[in-house]
Chains A and B, each alone.
Chain A
Amino acid sequence: MNAWRRLRKSYFLYSFRRDPVALASFAIFFFLVLVSLFAPVIAPHNPYDTSTIDVMDAEIPPAWMAGGDARFWLGTDIQGRDLYSTMLYGLRTSVAIGIGAVLFQGILGIVVGLTAGYAGGRVDSFLMRVADIQFSIPYLIVAIITSAIFQLAFGLGRFEQLAMPLLIVIIGISEWPKYARTVRASVLGEKQKEYVEAARVIGLNPARIMYRHILPNTLTPVLVISTIQVAQAVMSEAALSFLGLGMPVTKPSLGSLIKAGFQYVFSGSWWITTFPGMLLVTFTLVVILFGDWLRDVLNPKLYKG
């Protein structure tokens, strides 16, 4: 109750209510997450249920166009799946991968950053060298090569089965240095403060000081980059799936839907690619806008890297 009152009077909520862009983008983001959570309830068809899919329904245009079918208001894709339902399920997969990947890279980066920042010395310079080196290679290259190696190592069938957890790991691996550097930078700032010294004097063990005392004070910048990272991860998933290194076409994600429709754009079936594309752009755009607002309000001294 107390926390709620504090939140209500805070500058954070005040500026949130005063900023139409932040309000709108958060509302759309919230709506899209809800929709993706409840996709099985909302969607009129189930794209995973092959018994309801009929290839004869393939490439039906949206309902308002000539040749449209009232059952499929956004039309159908090349396999005869209802595009609207498939997009809802695709968004669900993309959001799950995005959030999962951010959690993965966040945990990895926080552990490395905290250890490096708190331990200092050789541990610090070794861990940060590793992070620097990976950071100097673009994340997309790391992600593409990692998933290519995974695909060869697991074999295509197995990779497609495990696509979702593997993509979370792949995108997580390609982005962790950003967290490690951010966390380390703020740990270095916190380490000098008196409360840490006090904790050390009363004889707490280092792990407790790191995770219970320092970590909560470094979470603001982590929160800020996490928002942008979700957008980044969703875009990475789409890029990987588009290259054929991510979700297979049988398991809809926004990226695999765009890929599946890409060959058919030029023969006139523009809707298969256009609607998932628009959904992808809307999702990343609102996340980026909300993240920008969050950064401006919380304004942590982000370690620019």
Chain B
Amino acid sequence: MFAFIVRRVLQAIVVMGVIAFIGFSVQHSIGDPVRDMVGERVSLAEREAIRDQLGLNDPVPIQFGRFCWKALHGDLGISYFHKRPALDVILSKAPATLELVFGATVIILVFCFPVGIYTAIRPRAWLSRFVMAVSTVGVAVPVFLTAIVLIYIFGVELRWLPTYGRGETVALGGWDTGLLTADGLLHLILPSVALSSIMLPLYIRLIRSEMMEVLETEYIKFAWAKGLSRWRIWLLHAFKNTLLPVITVFGVEIGILFAFTLLTETVFQWQGMGFMFLEAVERSDTALLVAYLVVVGVMFVVINTLVDICYGLVNPMVRVAGNP
């Protein structure tokens, strides 16, 4: 087990190195920091002096080493537009994105289980057929269209819900939360619904198919024969055994939810990391873009490594067979 963890962590370090190298080459090859710093009237000789001072004339490996060293200390450069360290900018936007993912997850969890169970135990009811038809179409509808339709219905026609921004937020020790004010919660509703529409159809279908498979097994038939109450069979016997594959998939797909926040944030002008990233691209803010790349890369590497290690703890086959 120890060797497995060491191997996984080493692999994670290599991957982070690769991500850092991509970030470094982007920063190295796009844009000229000297031109950004000084005006037109600075002579070539002075520019050379600044380049020397900044270490831009050093060999590339040394520059890369310096880039990694600074990154390890949390210094990912300074955003041209915000005039603040890029990492600070990203971290100040992170709560908005995390709350959006959280809101969508809550909606998915609240709806996918009852609907999934219902469609599994009553597969022929018209309501189940309707849900399945809607979820089939739902897979094909991109999240930004759902979002536009939601805004049009609830924001423009009915005027029930706010459609852009985060509303009123409260600072909780560096974490700007919209979850504690009524206004912030109202602002969260439409974006979370839009974001959850990506995953909800998939989960309903997953739970339904897993549960229908379980309902066919011998032990369920035996439970019926014993004369247990139907709810006990459905919820305690059948549902419990559908949970394991569902949880496995959920862990993986939460990353996809994060990816789709970029689209949701754009439509709703939600001031999160994705919105900030797209602004950075528009403004050619290379430092912020590289910082985003590194932060997102590190985030996924850490999550995947932790998930792998947890799998290894639970399932010995992974650490023995999965690793030649």
Q: Which A positions have Cβ atoms within 8 angstroms of B?
A: 125, 129, 133, 136-141, 144-145, 148-149, 151-153, 231, 235, 238-239, 242-245, 258, 262, 265-266, 270, 273, 277, 280-281, 284-285, 288-289
Contact = CB atoms under 8 A, between A and B. Distances in A.
B142 A235 contact: yes
B300 A137 contact: yes
Contacts of B31: 152
Interface in B143-159: 143-145, 148, 151-152, 155-156
30 contacts: A136-B300, A138-B255, A141-B258, A141-B262, A141-B296, A149-B30, A152-B284, A152-B289, A153-B30, A242-B142, A243-B262, A243-B278, A244-B278, A258-B145, A258-B148, A262-B267, A265-B152, A265-B156, A266-B155, A266-B156, A273-B148, A277-B145, A280-B142, A281-B137, A281-B141, A281-B142, A285-B136, A285-B137, A288-B136, A288-B140
Given A137-B300, A140-B259, A152-B30, A280 B293 contact: no
A239 B300 CA distance: 21
Contacts of A281: 137, 140-142, 145
A280 B145 contact: yes
Interface in B283-324: 284, 286, 289, 292-293, 296-297, 300, 304, 324
Interface string B89-101: 0000000000000
B266 interface: yes
A152 B286 contact: yes
Contact of B140 (A133, A265, A284): A284
B266 A242 contact: yes
A137 B263 contact: no
B260 interface: yes
A266 B269 CA distance: 15
A240 to B, nearest CB: 10
Interface in B100-154: 136-137, 139-145, 148, 151-152
B26 A141 contact: no
A243 B259 CA distance: 13
A288 B205 CA distance: 15
B217 interface: no
Given A138-B258, A140-B262, A148-B289, A239 B30 contact: no
B13 interface: no
Nearest to B26: A149
Contacts of A243: 262-263, 266, 278
B144 A239 contact: yes
Minimum-distance CB pairs A-B, first 7? A138-B259, A285-B140, A140-B259, A284-B140, A136-B304, A148-B281, A141-B259
The DSSP consensus for interface residues of chain B is helix
B255 A266 contact: no
Contacts of A125: 324
B256 interface: yes
A239 B26 contact: no
B246 interface: no
Given A140-B260, A243-B262, A238 B142 contact: yes
Given A238-B142, A288-B139, 13 more contacts: A129-B11, A141-B296, A144-B259, A149-B26, A152-B281, A231-B140, A239-B263, A242-B142, A243-B263, A245-B278, A245-B281, A262-B148, A265-B152
Contacts of B255: 136-138
A258 B148 CA distance: 10
Nearest to A132: B304
A145 B293 contact: yes
Contacts of B137: 281, 285
Contacts of B292: 145
A266 B152 contact: yes
A133 to B, nearest CB: 6
- Which among A149, A231, A235, A288 has the greatest number of chain B C-beta atoms within 10 A? A149
B277 interface: yes
A136 B300 CA distance: 8
B15 interface: yes
Nearest to B303: A136
Given A137-B300, A148-B281, A244-B278, A289 B136 contact: yes
Interface in B268-284: 277-278, 281-282, 284
Contacts of B259: 138-141, 144
Contacts of B281: 148, 151-152, 244-245
A184 B260 CA distance: 29
Contacts of B260: 140
B88 to A, nearest CB: 21
B53 interface: no
Contacts of B43: none
A125 B7 CA distance: 14
B29 interface: yes
Contacts of A262: 144, 148, 267
Contact of A265 (B15, B29, B148): B148
Nearest to A147: B281
